[in-house]
Every structure is written in structure tokens, then in C-alpha cells.
A and B are shown apart, each in its own frame.
Chain A
Amino acid sequence: MSKITKKDVNSKLGKKDVLQAVVLADDFTTNLTPVQNVYPSILMPVVNVPLLDYLIETLVQSRIQELYLYCSSHIESLKKYVQSKNSDDISINLIISDGCRSLGDALRDIDTKGAIRGDFILIRGDAFTNANLKNLLELHRVRIEKDKGAAMTLLLRDVGSTNIPSLIEESSLVVADGSNNKVLFYKKLAKDEKKVKLELEWFLDHDKIEINTGLLDTHIYLCSPAVPPLFSDNFDFQTMEDFIRGVLMNEEILDSRIYWQRLDSEEYALPVTSWRAYHMLSREILQRHSYPLTPDTLSFVRNFTYLSRSTYRHRNAVLARGCVIQRDSIVGPNSMLGKDTFITRSTIGNNCIVGANVQIENSYILSNVFITDNCMIKNSIIFSNCQLDKKVNLDACILSPSVHLKSNSSYVDSVLEYESGKLNVTKISELNLDTDKELLYFTCKESKDGKDCDGYSTDSEDSSSEDDSAPASPLPDDTNMFLSEVIDSLLRGYQDGLNCENLILEINSSRYAYNVSIREVSYNVIKAILSLPLHYLSDQKSPINQANYQSTLKKMISYFFTIIQNYIKTEDAQDDCLKAMEEAATTIQELLSFMQRLLHLFYERDILSEEKILEWYELNGDNENEVQSLEIKKAVGPFIKWLKEAEEDSSDNEED
């Protein structure tokens, strides 16, 4: 009897001390199309090593003894992988459940299977970290001692204020009690949210409230045994966000609380939630942010040498003469690079053969890929067993496994995969429509990077404008404002049949409001009148054509004649008037053919003098390189001719 009880106690004690981790082989929410068809997300190679390898390394370092791997797809490959592993330091158990579709399902399943005995570490299938999880779990246990209802501690990495768009997108707002890190509010901020509403109560009930925005969910959670039952009790918890929101909302009813813990500044973590994150993680592993998880220090991948500018080379990799590996790159074992091949910011997997004069930039080439001479590969991901014939040109493409591309083919921005024996090409930008996120890292790299920062600064301008005195919105050109104001006034005046005297007053007041010089006024008034028919016609919804334009313009000129007369008095004003006509004629096609009649009209009505018109005509002729001025010249040619003749006539007359 006594023997048995002793054993029992021993085993119980022993079991309690065993630190357990649950790793979900699939993340269900990651956006790494088309990886889900190829690997479970946990086996996705990052810098030639599956994510799970890094995780196991971290877990072993943190003295975690038991690892439960929850598989829901690609079960065979996971089984094979686990068999190949059999490490002494950690026991890996598979929990197999086909057809599980969400994190909530998985945890409910784990609850029914009853594998979890104590506090455990929940790791989602896309997590990467080098943090010491044991210490963090200790902190969590201390918390549980103080608060029996502490269900979960979120591990968050502080990325501070940053301008890297992928980090900004992933980081969340955490409002927590400043004294014990109890989470009160947790939310990923949408891009367009300008304001965040927080409850006043929180601030009054707690001495200090800490508000953090630059926190990145590491997808690693320290859980008490109460977590799986919580999922079982609440069937609507599907994702982790659901769980956190649900628990925070019903804190009292569920008697559970969530805390958060910041990673030390030297500890690194980044979940692979998108290709952008994948790109970033690969870069940062190569640049040794994740030390000791770097290719040359990992125990299970040997024989990598770390070279300058963050490049790594396996001992068995063969580089031909003239081959350049510029920076942030790695070449895996048994890979061969041909003559004059140039590689930068890329990883090349195992057993790849790359021909001569190939350029590879910003790309990920997994194992057993065959690339023939003279290929250009930029910003692309090539899965294993692909073959590229000569002179293939790829930019921003994803190649599914075993794709064979014929020589001289060229693809941009596409996903290439075999579907029932045929090569299927899908545009990435079309794939994006439903996800509304950038699929690939590079599409954002060039275009968005800069824009994103700008986007922030502009929206910030907006938000500050709410507190009364407006900040500098770039001042629209005053004269342009004046012009549009004049057009408005005239249009309204014409439609309502207002008195021209009043319109003159209005224009003058606009003039002072925008501080416009008198010469600009005459110029703009003429310009406004000439463009007015367009506005008028579009207002009336009648078609804009030559005949319509001309008839309305005629009516308008006779209507606004007082105004024109008022502004075009001096010789300078005449110059401005002619300039405005010329300018308008270049932009308004309908006016061009009317130019000569317009000149005639102004001439007859004594607005423009003969000398001025001729002078303008001669001057206009000078810049003959401009096609438009030539056109105008042509259009008004007959009138000028007539004018010159008339001049002779009139001089004759005067002599009489």
C-alpha cells in the first residue's frame, strides 16, 4: 500500500513539474498564400529551417519537457517530421484532429482530450521567438498566486514607435492597469481610426493606467489550466481576439483576467503573419537580431560560416568564379551557383542548382530548385522542386512546388501553380481583393513605404485640426481661389440675372479677400468668362459642343459687357485680356475656332484696340515652337489680315 501511494505522490509531483507547451501546427489565420497547400504553417522554412525547429530550440533552452503538437492538416508530413526529430530533451506528442478549422476548435479539442494538467505555454503555428519562456512562465505563476482568476498572460514585444508598416499593422493598443499589468482593453487599431474611445471608469478605478500602442502580439500565450475549459464553455470563441475580447467583456461572470508581459529588450519575437512579416523575419535572422537563433549557431544545422555583410554559406555550397553574394543572403548545403551569378537579400535552400549569370534579388528559393543561365529573379518566392529554363524573368511572383517555366518566359505579380496538369497564372493584385491586405512584402516595399509615412503625417494634421486653430493645410494658391470665386459669382449672376454692378462689387471684394493684384483681376475675369459656358452647360446638363459653347458665350459676353468694360480699361489690362484669351484657347478646344470672332467682337466694342491686337499677334508669333500658339495664330489669321486692311482703309479715310 505504502509503496503505491509513495509512487503516486512521486509521479504527481513529477508531473506537476513538467512544463508543457502546446504548439498549433496550423495558425488558421495566416495569410501566406499558397503555403497552406504545401506545408502546415509550422513547417514553413525560414532561412532554410522550418519554424518548428527554431521553436523546439527555444523550448529546449527554456527547459520545457513536453510538447504537444496539434495537427489538423498535412498530418503525414508532420508525423514524418516528428519521427525524424526524436530529441531526448523534449518529448513531442502529436494530437491529431482532422478538419479543425480555428484556434477555438483546437483548444476545445484539447480540453476534451484532457492532455493539459497545469500551466502551459500556448504557441500558435506562426510564432518565432528566442525568449526564455521558463522565466516568463514563472512570472505568470507569481501572478496566479496573487490572483486566482489570472487566466492568461499575453507575451508582447515592444516595438516602440516605428515607421515600418507591417509592424504598425500588427501592433495593438493595450490599455492596462499600470500597477499589475492587468489588461483592460486590447485592440488592433484599424488604419482609418482617428480616435480611440476609452471608458472613464477605468481611469477612476485605477491609480494609473498604462496605454501602450507599439506592442506586437508574439502569438505566444502563457495559460493557466482554466483556458481550455473557457473555450469549451464559450462556443463563440473562434480566434484569440475573440477570446481576449470575450474575457475582458465578461470579466466578472467568467471570473478570469488577462495580464500582459513585455519581452525584454534583447529578446526577439515576430510571428509570420504575412509575407511581409516573413520577409522581415528572414532579414532579421540573417542580421542576427534573433541571436542565438542564427544559421551558424543552431545546433541542428551545422557547417554554416558567417561572412561579412550578413551573408552565410554552407560548407558544401559551391560558388563558381565571379559569383557575388552581396548582402543579407544565405546559400544552403549542396547548392551550386554558376559563373557571374549575383545574389542579394535572398536565401537559397538545399540542393539548388543555379546557372551562370543569374540575378537573384529579394527572393526566397527553397530546396531542390533548378535555375538555368541568365535568369532574372526579383522579389519572388520559389517553392521547392521548381525548374526555370533559360532567361526566365520573374518579378513579384510566387511559384508553387514543381512548377516548370519554359525559357524566355516572363511573369510579373503572379502566383504560378499547376492545376490539373496545366500551369495556372493568377494575378496577385486580384487575389488581394478579398483580403484587402498586401499579399507580398515587396509590393509595399517600393510604393507603399514612403506613402505610408506620409499617410500618417497627413492624418495627423487632420486630427490636430480638431483643436481649434487649424494647422497648415497647404495654402491653395490664392489666385486660383480667386478665379474659382469669380466663376462662382458670375455663374450665379448669370443664372439669377443679377445686376452687373453688383457682380463687380462682389468680384472686388473677392479681390481684397485674396489679395490679388489688379492685373491678375482683369486676367482672371476674362478667363472666368471664357470658361463660364462650360460650367453653365454642365450645370444645365446640356451637351458641350462647339455650337452650344459659342452661342452661350455670345449671350454671356453681351450680358457681362459692363463687367468686361469695367476691368479692361487700360493698355495693361488689354494685354492681360489677350493673354487670358490665349490661355483659355489652349485649354478650351471649343474656343479656338471662335477666337477670331471674339477678337472681332472686342475690337468692335472698343475693348481691345487695334494696336494691341496686332502687337499681341506679332509677339505671339515669336514663340513658334509651341504648337498651340501656332494654332491660335492660324485661327485668328484672317481677322488680323482684315484688321490690317481695315487699318489702311481707315488711315485713308482719316486723310479724307
Chain B
Amino acid sequence: MSIQPILKKRLRRILVNMVHCTEFQAVVLAGGKGSRMTELTAGRPKCLLPIGNMPMIFYPLRLLERSGFHEAIVVVSESAKYDVAAAVDKLDLEIKLDFVGIPGGEDLGTADSIRLINEKIHVDFVVISCDLITEIDIADILNSYRKHNASITALIVPAPKVPDDFVTPGPKSKQKPETDLIGIDNETGRLVFLASASDFEETINLSRKLLKKHTSFTIHSKWMDAHLYVINKWVLDFLVFNKSFSTLKGELLPYIVAKQLSRPPRQSADDKNTSIVRLDTKEDIYRFAVEKPLDTLIRKMSAFNDHNTDLEEAYHGDVIRCYAHIVTGKFGLRTNTIQMYALANSDLSRSTNSEWWNTLTEGKISVPEISASATVKSTQVENCRIDENAFIDEKTSVKQNHIGPNVVIEPKTRISQSVIMGNVTIKQRCVITNCILCNGCVIQEGSEIKDCLVGAQHIVVADSRHCREVLTDVDRLMEI
């Protein structure tokens, strides 16, 4: 008789554990093809590009792990699913990962990807892009999200400053960096305006309502949206319902930010029988943005107000609330262009003991500078990371490089400030400065290349000289 209640209790506990009782879920978007850095990504998923000899995806995953996430959903393209899973397995992370493949061929946007996995998300969630390299503690962002019970909280970091002496490998690009225009209320930290500078031609129109509601706000042009969002569950429901959004940053977020200014439709009580039909068919965000009764009660009873000059209620009575969480003074960038990719690598190679690397890994993950299985005969090795089975012959000089697995460097070669991916062969008497050599390429005898990109499997012929070029097979680029 007495066993039954105990059993019941246990059963209940098991059930509680089975049902998702976490507060936040995490989604890592790693399905990107690297459209802004096609020279590098030909033939391999962007999220596996090495940064400091770790695949790019390591950084966001470690970030999540460090903030206490036990599980995460990783969205990758179906074709790369096994590669990524295998690569991540090697990283020895504790976080439990659920890889979801996006059916190949379809070029899905970030919002589309989220929509695809909506059935796996049951609570508010964090979306993080695989190219975010940072040491920022996500817990702070979550706190700022909780504080205002936001709809979306976005992480805003200063746009990374490129040092004057830094030269991006490859030809001088005329590609202007994207500028985000981010408007933040000075008093409340509300995200009130979000757009890309390229959306405008000469003038920006601000609505009177925005000016009236937020009497003092600042629009920043030197900050960027880091593509780390904490998103309320109802936004996901809205996203699933409204299929017209395909990206988060470009479409959904600006839409929701703008929607903060609108008011929920008034419920007209008199014509019940006629209006119900309409409301259901209307694609209205306020069908989803509904304050929970308990929250309403709390808000009504609380004396808290986020602004003080007028007599409006807290948050102006808005249910849709977007906030910016600003972090300055920490390392943070998105490696979605060659420049940023090179910058991240060079930052790590300048000193082997980078501060942010230590914060991120908390010393738990120590990457040996020189892998045990590597053979290094050279006497001039300085600030390098050398991966498994690399072979560096004698009479070579390697300084501030990342050298991938199975790389062969033959004698009388000098290499500095470069990223050398896996299976690269560099023959004798080469001089390589500030280059990115993609996997499998071969540099033949006596070549001197400076500030160049060498595409995957490309063969640089002997005794050639190149400066600020992209060296790759033409048809390979065409493929993309």
C-alpha cells in the first residue's frame, strides 16, 4: 500500500525530467555556406573553417557550454551533417548536441531554418550563429532578457576595429563593410530602430510616433548586431505562422522592432459574431503577442516604471518589447567575411595566450601548441599552432602561423602570419607571408606569395610570384 505513493512520486519526477523544464533552449545556426567568403569555403562547410586550428563552430558551442547550457540544436546543411558531427565529436565538448540537417539544395534563410525545427523548440530560446567568435557570457544576456520579459533581446557589440597595419589576404576589395544602424532608447535600453545603412539611399525617415514615444534615443553606426538573439516562444509561433520571413536579422527583427510602435487591435465587444471570423484569418502579430495573465497582474500591481516624464504605464503598455544588450570592451566579432576571418586568426596567433581564449575555455580545454603526433624539425618556430601529423622539415622558419593537420613543409621555406589548413604541401624554398592556404593545396618550389588566398586543391606552380591575389581554379569558383 505504501509503495504506491512513492512510485507515483518517482513517476512524476521522471515525467518532469522528460518534459522540457529548461528555461531556455539553444539553437546554433551552422547551415551557412559562407557566401561572403566563397574563396575559402569552396568544398567545405563554413562552420568547419579553422580558427586557431579549431573549427569555427567550436566557439559558439563552447560559449553555450560555458554559460551552462547542457543541450543545443545545431542546424547544418544535410550534406555536411556527418562531417560536422564528426568534427564536433573530436572537440570533446560536454554539451549534448542534436544535429538537424537541412535538406540539400534549398537555400534556406536563418528564419526558415528556425521554422524548420520549430517542433523541437518548446520554450524561449537562444539563437546563435556559428560565426560568432566571442568571450561574452551569455548569462548576462539572459538576465537582461529576463529583466524586462522581452520579446527579443539582441546582443550588440562594437564593430571590430581593424588595425591600420592589418592587410587582408587577397585583392583589395571594394566591398564596403555592412553598417548596422541601431537605435537604442537612452533611458530604457529599448531597441527602437534597426536597419542596415544600405537600405537607405540618402535620407532616413523616422515616424513621428517613434519620436513621440522615445523622446531621447541614440542611433549607433559603429556597433553591430552580433546575431545572438534571445527570442520569446511566441515569436517562434508567429514565425511559423507567417511564412514570409526568411531571415532573422534582415527581416524578422526589423519587423518586430517596428511593430513595437503599433497597438494591439481593439477588441470590439459589440459585434462578436462577425469579427471572430476575421481576426482568425488576419495575419496579426497580436494573435501571438499576448501577455500572460500572471504577467499582466504583476505589471499592474508593481510600481515599477521604465520611464518617468509622462503618466503612461510601464513599457507604454507594450507587449512587444525588444531590447539591446550592449557589451563593450570584450572580444567579439563575426567571421563572415575574409577580413574578419583573417582578423580572428591573426588575433589568436599574435600571442599564444590570448586573454579571451582563456576566458572562453576557462583553461579547461588546452590545445597543445604543437600536437604530439606532429613532427617538427625546425628550430625557428614562434607562436605557432601545429596540428596532428604535420611535418615541418628542418631549416624552415615558421612564425605566427596556424598549421593544420597533415601539412608538409619542406626545407628552406619561410612562412609567417599565415593560416594553413589541412593537407597542404609546401615545397622547398618558398616564402609565404600573410596568406590563407586552403586545404589540399600545393605550393611548388621557390614560390613567393604574399597577402594571397590559395583555394582548395590548387597548385601554385614553381617559382611564381604573387601578391594580393586569389589563386584558385576558375571552374571551382564558378561552381559556387
Q: Which residues of A contact B (CB under 8 A)?
A: 158-163, 173, 178, 189, 193-201, 203-204, 206-214, 456-457, 459-461, 463-464, 466-467, 469, 471-472, 474-475, 477-478, 514-515
Q: Contact at B204–A197, with CB atoms within 8 Å? A: yes
**Which of B279-287, B292-300, B466-474 participates in binding chain A?**
B279-287
Note all chain A residues with C-beta closer than 8 A to B275: 475
Note all chain A residues with C-beta closer than 8 A to B23: none
Q: A203-B181, A469-B282, A515-B274 are in contact. List 19 more A-B contacts (CB 8 A).
A: A159-B309, A160-B216, A161-B212, A161-B309, A162-B309, A178-B218, A194-B207, A194-B208, A195-B205, A197-B204, A200-B201, A201-B202, A207-B220, A207-B222, A211-B217, A464-B207, A464-B263, A469-B283, A469-B284
Count, A-B residue pairs, CB within 8 A:
147
Note all chain A residues with C-beta closer than 8 A to B219: 203, 208-211
Note all chain A residues with C-beta closer than 8 A to B200: 200
Which B residue's beta carbon lies closest to that of A460? B209
In the assembled complex, the CB of A514 is this many whole angstroms from the nearest CB of chain B, namely: 8
Q: Mark B254-280, 1 if CB is under 8 A from A, else 0.
A: 010011011111101001011101100
Q: Contact at A208–B309, with CB atoms within 8 Å? A: no
Give the interface size bracket for B toward A.
35 or more
Q: Contact at B181–A211, with CB atoms within 8 Å? A: no
Asked if B366 is an interface residue, CB under 8 A from chain A, the answer is: no
Asked if B211 is an interface residue, CB under 8 A from chain A, the answer is: yes
Supply 25 A–B pairs (Cβ within 8 Å), ascending by A: A160-B215, A160-B310, A161-B213, A161-B214, A178-B220, A194-B207, A196-B207, A204-B197, A204-B221, A210-B186, A213-B211, A213-B214, A214-B216, A457-B263, A459-B208, A461-B263, A463-B261, A467-B255, A467-B262, A469-B283, A471-B263, A474-B266, A475-B271, A478-B271, A515-B273
Q: Contact at A210–B204, with CB atoms within 8 Å? A: no
In the assembled complex, the CB of A36 is this many whole angstroms from the nearest CB of chain B, namely: 33
In the assembled complex, the CB of A193 is this many whole angstroms from the nearest CB of chain B, namely: 6
Which B residue's beta carbon lies closest to that of A167? B309
In the assembled complex, the CB of B269 is this many whole angstroms from the nearest CB of chain A, namely: 11
With A204-B197, A208-B222 already in contact, the answer to whether A472 and B265 are too (CB < 8 A) is yes
Note all chain B residues with C-beta closer than 8 A to A206: 221
With A208-B222, A472-B263 already in contact, the answer to whether A173 and B211 are too (CB < 8 A) is yes
- Per a CB cutoff under 8 Å, which of B208, B266, B284, B310 touches A195? B208
Asked if B307 is an interface residue, CB under 8 A from chain A, the answer is: yes
Q: Contact at A210–B216, with CB atoms within 8 Å? A: yes
Q: How far is the CA of A463 from the CA of B261 in the complex (A)?
A: 9
Asked if B86 is an interface residue, CB under 8 A from chain A, the answer is: no
Q: Contact at B211–A211, with CB atoms within 8 Å? A: yes
- Per a CB cutoff under 8 Å, which of B208, B215, B222, B309 touches A196? B208
Chain B residues 210-237 with CB under 8 Å of chain A are 211-222
Asked if B14 is an interface residue, CB under 8 A from chain A, the answer is: no
In the assembled complex, the CB of A203 is this many whole angstroms from the nearest CB of chain B, namely: 5
Q: How far is the CA of A326 from the CA of B28 in the complex (A)?
A: 67
Q: Contact at B263–A209, with CB atoms within 8 Å? A: no
Asked if B457 is an interface residue, CB under 8 A from chain A, the answer is: no
Q: How far is the CA of A464 from the CA of B258 in the complex (A)?
A: 8
Q: How far is the CA of A132 from the CA of B277 in the complex (A)?
A: 62
- Per a CB cutoff under 8 Å, which of B207, B214, B271, B308 touches A463? B207
Note all chain B residues with C-beta closer than 8 A to A461: 263
Q: How far is the CA of A280 from the CA of B309 in the complex (A)?
A: 16
Asked if B206 is an interface residue, CB under 8 A from chain A, the answer is: yes
Note all chain B residues with C-beta closer than 8 A to A204: 179, 197, 221
Asked if B203 is an interface residue, CB under 8 A from chain A, the answer is: yes
Asked if B311 is an interface residue, CB under 8 A from chain A, the answer is: yes
Q: How far is the CA of A189 from the CA of B215 in the complex (A)?
A: 13
Q: Contact at A197–B197, with CB atoms within 8 Å? A: no
Q: How far is the CA of A158 from the CA of B215 in the complex (A)?
A: 9
Q: How far is the CA of A467 from the CA of B278 in the complex (A)?
A: 20
Note all chain A residues with C-beta closer than 8 A to B312: 161
Q: How far is the CA of A207 from the CA of B308 in the complex (A)?
A: 28
Note all chain B residues with C-beta closer than 8 A to A472: 263-266
Max chain B C-beta neighbours (<10 A), residue from A201, A471, A514: A471
In the assembled complex, the CB of B405 is this many whole angstroms from the nearest CB of chain A, namely: 42
Q: Contact at B274–A478, with CB atoms within 8 Å? A: yes
Note all chain B residues with C-beta closer than 8 A to A193: 208
Note all chain A residues with C-beta closer than 8 A to B212: 161, 213, 456, 460
Which B residue's beta carbon lies closest to that of A207? B222
Q: How far is the CA of A472 from the CA of B213 in the complex (A)?
A: 19
Q: How far is the CA of A196 from the CA of B203 in the complex (A)?
A: 9
- Per a CB cutoff under 8 Å, which of A160, A212, A213, A463 touches B307? A160
Chain B residues 298-327 with CB under 8 Å of chain A are 307-312
Q: How far is the CA of A209 from the CA of B222 in the complex (A)?
A: 11
Note all chain B residues with C-beta closer than 8 A to A173: 211
Q: How far is the CA of A189 from the CA of B217 in the complex (A)?
A: 17
Q: How far is the CA of A197 from the CA of B220 in the complex (A)?
A: 17
Note all chain B residues with C-beta closer than 8 A to A213: 211-212, 214-216
Q: Contact at B261–A460, with CB atoms within 8 Å? A: yes
Note all chain A residues with C-beta closer than 8 A to B285: 469
Q: Contact at B197–A195, with CB atoms within 8 Å? A: no
Note all chain A residues with C-beta closer than 8 A to B271: 475, 477-478
Q: How far is the CA of A194 from the CA of B211 in the complex (A)?
A: 10
- Per a CB cutoff under 8 Å, which of A195, A208, A474, A477 touches B207? A195
Note all chain B residues with C-beta closer than 8 A to A159: 309
Q: Contact at A211–B308, with CB atoms within 8 Å? A: no
Q: How far is the CA of A200 from the CA of B201 in the complex (A)?
A: 7
Q: Contact at B197–A200, with CB atoms within 8 Å? A: yes
Q: Contact at B208–A197, with CB atoms within 8 Å? A: no
Q: How far is the CA of A203 from the CA of B223 in the complex (A)?
A: 12
Note all chain B residues with C-beta closer than 8 A to A475: 268, 271, 274-275, 278
Q: How far is the CA of A210 from the CA of B187 in the complex (A)?
A: 12
9 A-B pairs with least C-beta separation: A160-B309, A472-B265, A214-B215, A464-B262, A460-B209, A207-B222, A213-B211, A197-B203, A195-B205
Note all chain B residues with C-beta closer than 8 A to A198: 203-206
Note all chain A residues with C-beta closer than 8 A to B283: 469
Note all chain B residues with C-beta closer than 8 A to A467: 255, 258-259, 262
Q: How far is the CA of A456 from the CA of B179 in the complex (A)?
A: 33
In the assembled complex, the CB of A263 is this many whole angstroms from the nearest CB of chain B, namely: 14
With A194-B207, A214-B309 already in contact, the answer to whether A464 and B221 are too (CB < 8 A) is no
- Per a CB cutoff under 8 Å, which of B207, B221, B310 touches A203? B221
In the assembled complex, the CB of A518 is this many whole angstroms from the nearest CB of chain B, namely: 14
Q: Contact at A210–B217, with CB atoms within 8 Å? A: yes
Note all chain B residues with C-beta closer than 8 A to A162: 309-310
Note all chain B residues with C-beta closer than 8 A to A514: 274
Q: How far is the CA of A461 from the CA of B209 in the complex (A)?
A: 9
Q: How far is the CA of A457 from the CA of B275 in the complex (A)?
A: 23
In the assembled complex, the CB of B295 is this many whole angstroms from the nearest CB of chain A, namely: 22
Q: How far is the CA of A283 from the CA of B435 in the complex (A)?
A: 73
Which B residue's beta carbon lies closest to that of A163? B310
Q: How far is the CA of A201 from the CA of B215 in the complex (A)?
A: 22
Note all chain B residues with C-beta closer than 8 A to A460: 208-209, 212, 261, 263
Note all chain B residues with C-beta closer than 8 A to A469: 282-285
- Per a CB cutoff under 8 Å, which of B204, B208, B307 touches A189? B208
Note all chain A residues with C-beta closer than 8 A to B268: 474-475
Which A residue's beta carbon lies closest to that of B216? A212
Note all chain A residues with C-beta closer than 8 A to B208: 189, 193-196, 459-460, 463
Q: How far is the CA of A206 from the CA of B220 in the complex (A)?
A: 8
With A203-B197, A210-B186, A212-B215 already in contact, the answer to whether A161 and B209 are too (CB < 8 A) is no
In the assembled complex, the CB of A388 is this many whole angstroms from the nearest CB of chain B, namely: 38
In the assembled complex, the CB of A43 is this many whole angstroms from the nearest CB of chain B, namely: 32
Which A residue's beta carbon lies closest to that of B213? A161
Which A residue's beta carbon lies closest to that of B282? A469
Note all chain A residues with C-beta closer than 8 A to B261: 460, 463-464
Note all chain B residues with C-beta closer than 8 A to A200: 197, 200-204
Note all chain B residues with C-beta closer than 8 A to A210: 186, 216-219
Note all chain B residues with C-beta closer than 8 A to A203: 181, 197, 204, 219, 221
Which B residue's beta carbon lies closest to that of A164? B310
Q: How far is the CA of A158 from the CA of B277 in the complex (A)?
A: 47
